[in-house]
Chains A and B, each alone.
Chain A
Amino acid sequence: MTARVAVATIRYDDPWDDVSVFTNRLAGALACSAEVDVLVPAAVSSLEVAWDGACRLLRFPAAAADARIRAAWHIVALGGKAHQAFDACTCPTKPRELPPAVEEQLVLAEGGDSPALYEHIRTSPYDAVVFVGLHSPVAYFGMRALADDRRAFLVPGGVHECVGGLKIHQATMARAEKILVCTEGEGRRMVDVVGAGWADRVENIGFVLGVNAIVAPETPGLQPDRFVVVGRDWRTSSSRLGHRGWLSGLADALPPGVGLRLVGPGASRLPAGVPDTAARIDAWWWMSRAVAVVDPAPHRVVGQEVLEAMRFAVPVVVAANGGASREHAEMGNGGLWFRVRDELVAAVERLLDEDVRGRLGEQGRSYAAEAFGDTDTFVKRVAEVLLG
């Protein structure tokens, strides 16, 4: 009999969000050997049911996230800052001792609190439920709603120490049969955050990612128009305002003849933004022709843009505290990493050397194809860990 599995996630259908993309791949892989429902809180008035490929997508009405409330709770309870520039991660490194009620408010401030979703989990006969996003109401309240005889798995989804170490998450992690991550580095970081006691539950299931090679330039190598690309979601005002200074500083500091191109949804509102690059295939056109793809964001879960650049044999330059993106650059020998802008500019200068660029690009391409390009292996691995 085919198993019934639910994937309860904080976000799902945003191709520019690491957690969404990972959940999408995970649900797709599970759908090869199980009936899969994806449960997601959304801005809807009543339950909406749709199909996403082989998965049934259930959208539950939920409280919307308010960025100001979230920022306020982070500042008051954790001592963080509202906006973080790319190169200045100000997250506190140690969790504070907080009362449980305050910790719960920190979780609720993430948005997506959906009693209807928890009720659905409580009453539906799923064989297993995968919760995505440790520091979210979906995982916190959803795990509590799940009957004791049901299997539960947890995908932390890029949790920083300041929130991952909160005491209220201990019960969520204790209930999970496995804590699923997609890179070795994320596994190590997760053990650091949750403590060595949980190490045997952390399981790396990998990830799968592909690109459409049709957009790649006909003649590989350095293109006449030289630029570096930063790809991300620029739609939120905090995303644009928080990084505007950093980006203009980078544009001024880049070597002569090398421009800066920002791609992704909302990029056209920024000075170096390329319009009409909200679709990934349009962003790939620019990425595949870049001197390098720069990912300055810290604590990446998947490092999607980095892997995509590697699939196009384009070297990457990533933040030294970039999490998954740093791991890809280092493990795959496909790019360089930096701590300060001078190092980033020096890395771009080095990549203008055709030989260095070509060798790093080719090494990165091999790594990305071998480690993240085999769908069959990923599907088998997911089935083995979750259904085996």
Chain B
Amino acid sequence: MASDISARELTRQLWEEVAAERALRTNPHAGLGDYDRLINDSERHYLNSRYVLRRSPRGSEGGERWLRVNGALRLRAAQFVLRVLERYFDDEQEFLAHLVRLQNTVTANIDRLSAEVRQLESLLQAESERLGAADAILHARLEERINALEEQVAGIRKHSGEAPK
């Protein structure tokens, strides 16, 4: 038959192992990556600089006469088309302006939230460390008090002639 196993000894070992593991365990962290701020993103700059529609038709300059006539005709045709579609282009321009403004707001808010999350993580980390330290101090004090009480009890027993248990 297998030898007896002491539940008390096994529990003591487990408690010690768990305490050691806890002491070694680093404080949990959110593992936030290092990202560039969106406000500096080159794509955002491109969108901001290119959202205005060019509505002035390019005319031809110089060259043979027949080429100049041809250019003037194309210019007139382009001006005609632009006049016909003017309201559509106005609406489209207004829509693009709103889109870019929204994109800028979203960008600013994302950057702000990101900064706040980092601040919060840093605060939690500090608080976790503070609580861990306070817990360690409290445990140490409790151990001291228990030891002192045990010594007192042993002293009283010794004084009253009672055999220690």
Write the residues of chain A forming the contact surface with B, with a CB cutoff of 8 angstroms.
329-330, 332-337, 339-340, 342-343, 346-347, 350, 355-356, 358-360, 363
- Provide a sorted-by-A list of 28 A–B residue pairs whose CB atoms are within 8 angstroms: A330-B7, A330-B8, A333-B4, A333-B7, A333-B8, A335-B7, A336-B7, A336-B11, A336-B14, A337-B7, A337-B11, A339-B15, A340-B18, A342-B22, A343-B14, A343-B15, A343-B18, A346-B14, A346-B17, A346-B18, A347-B14, A350-B10, A358-B2, A359-B2, A360-B5, A360-B7, A360-B10, A363-B7
Alpha-carbon distance A342/B14, docked complex (angstroms) = 10
**Is B6 close to A, CB under 8 A?**
yes
The residue on B at minimum CB distance from A328 is: B7
Alpha-carbon distance A332/B22, docked complex (angstroms) = 29
Alpha-carbon distance A346/B11, docked complex (angstroms) = 10
Cβ-defined contact, B18 with A363, below 8 A: no
Chain A nearest CB, measured from B112 CB (Å)? 33
The residue on B at minimum CB distance from A343 is: B18
Cβ-defined contact, A333 with B18, below 8 A: no
Cβ-defined contact, B6 with A333, below 8 A: yes
Cβ-defined contact, B18 with A342, below 8 A: yes
Cβ-defined contact, A363 with B10, below 8 A: no
* Secondary structure class of chain B's binding surface, majority of residues: helix
Q: Mark B1-32, 1 if CB is under 8 A from A, else 0.
A: 01011111011001101100110000000000
Chain B nearest CB, measured from A155 CB (Å)? 27
Alpha-carbon distance A330/B12, docked complex (angstroms) = 12
A339 contact set on B, CB distance < 8 A: 15
Alpha-carbon distance A333/B9, docked complex (angstroms) = 10
B18 contact set on A, CB distance < 8 A: 340, 342-343, 346
Contact size range, B: 10 to 19
Alpha-carbon distance A332/B2, docked complex (angstroms) = 16
Chain A nearest CB, measured from B121 CB (Å)? 22
Chain B nearest CB, measured from A199 CB (Å)? 14
Alpha-carbon distance A204/B152, docked complex (angstroms) = 29
Chain B nearest CB, measured from A22 CB (Å)? 24
Other-chain contact of B4, A336, A343, A363 (Cβ < 8 Å): A363
Alpha-carbon distance A336/B18, docked complex (angstroms) = 14
Chain B nearest CB, measured from A378 CB (Å)? 25
Cβ-defined contact, B8 with A363, below 8 A: no
A347 contact set on B, CB distance < 8 A: 11, 14
B7 contact set on A, CB distance < 8 A: 329-330, 332-337, 360, 363
Alpha-carbon distance A350/B21, docked complex (angstroms) = 15
Alpha-carbon distance A360/B4, docked complex (angstroms) = 8
The residue on A at minimum CB distance from B25 is: A342
Cβ-defined contact, B2 with A356, below 8 A: no
Alpha-carbon distance A358/B1, docked complex (angstroms) = 11
Alpha-carbon distance A316/B17, docked complex (angstroms) = 19
Other-chain contact of A336, B2, B10, B17, B22 (Cβ < 8 Å): B10
Chain B nearest CB, measured from A313 CB (Å)? 13
The residue on A at minimum CB distance from B8 is: A330
The residue on B at minimum CB distance from A347 is: B14
Alpha-carbon distance A337/B11, docked complex (angstroms) = 6
Cβ-defined contact, A359 with B5, below 8 A: yes
Q: A360-B5, A360-B10 are in contact. List 20 more A-B contacts (CB 8 A).
A: A330-B7, A332-B7, A333-B5, A333-B6, A335-B7, A336-B10, A336-B11, A336-B14, A337-B7, A337-B11, A340-B18, A342-B21, A342-B22, A343-B14, A343-B15, A343-B18, A347-B11, A359-B5, A360-B7, A363-B7
Chain B nearest CB, measured from A218 CB (Å)? 22
Cβ-defined contact, B8 with A350, below 8 A: no
A350 contact set on B, CB distance < 8 A: 10, 14
B22 contact set on A, CB distance < 8 A: 342
Cβ-defined contact, B2 with A355, below 8 A: yes
B21 contact set on A, CB distance < 8 A: 342
Residue of A330, A335, A336 ringed by the most chain B CB atoms within 10 A: A336
Alpha-carbon distance A288/B158, docked complex (angstroms) = 48
The residue on B at minimum CB distance from A364 is: B7
Alpha-carbon distance A355/B3, docked complex (angstroms) = 11
Alpha-carbon distance A332/B7, docked complex (angstroms) = 8
Alpha-carbon distance A149/B15, docked complex (angstroms) = 54
A332 contact set on B, CB distance < 8 A: 7
B6 contact set on A, CB distance < 8 A: 333
Chain A nearest CB, measured from B146 CB (Å)? 14
Chain A nearest CB, measured from B11 CB (Å)? 5
The residue on A at minimum CB distance from B15 is: A343
